[in-house]
Amino acid sequence: MICAHFSSARKGPHMPTYHIEMMEGRTVEQKRKLVEEITRVSVEVLGGSPESVDILITDVKRENWSTGGKLWLDRQ
């Protein structure tokens, strides 16, 4: 899940803070690439500078995520 909020606390264009929730298991390199690309596209589309884009990643254990009434831990 990705949720974006726009902050007015900084000077200049209002840039987003992205909150990303995903199941644990991605490598640091995968996360690094993800935040680089989200930042690049945000600046390309919205303007502003890369330093004004904030991204928070939350790793969720499969035992704490459910879809359709079943924990992902129980899925094969």
Catalytic site positions: 16
**Dist CA 4 CA 74 (whole Å):** 30
* Contact (CB, 8 A) for 28 and 34: no
